[in-house]
Amino acid sequence: MNDMLTSGIDTIRKYSYLVTKMKFPVSTIPTFVSISKFWICLVLIFIMILIFIFMGYPPTIYIIQLPFYLLLMFIFFTIWSLFASLLSCMSKDFGNLVKSMVTAIFWLSGIIWNPDTIKIGWIKKILNLNPVTYLTNGFRNCFINNTWFWEQPKRLLYFVIITVILLIITIWTYKKLRKEIPDVLN
Cα–Cα distances (Å) from 62 to 13, 69, 141, in that order, read: 40, 12, 8
Percent share of the chain, pLDDT over 90: 28
Q: What share of the chain is helix, strand, coil (3-state, %, to 5)?
A: 80, 0, 20
Q: What is the pLDDT of residues 66-125, one digit of tens each?
A: 999 999 999 999 998 888 888 888 877 887 888 788 877 777 777 888 888 888 888 888
Whole-prediction pTM:
0.86
Contact 88, 174 (CB under 8 A): no
Mean pLDDT of the chain: 85
Q: Work out how many domains the chain is built from and give that number.
A: 1
Segments forming the whole domain that contains residue 43: 2-185
10 Å CB burial of residue 9 (0-12, 13-18, 19+) is buried
Cα–Cα distances (Å) from 166 to 5, 75, 80, 95, in that order, read: 14, 11, 7, 17
Q: Is the pLDDT of residue 171 over 90?
A: yes
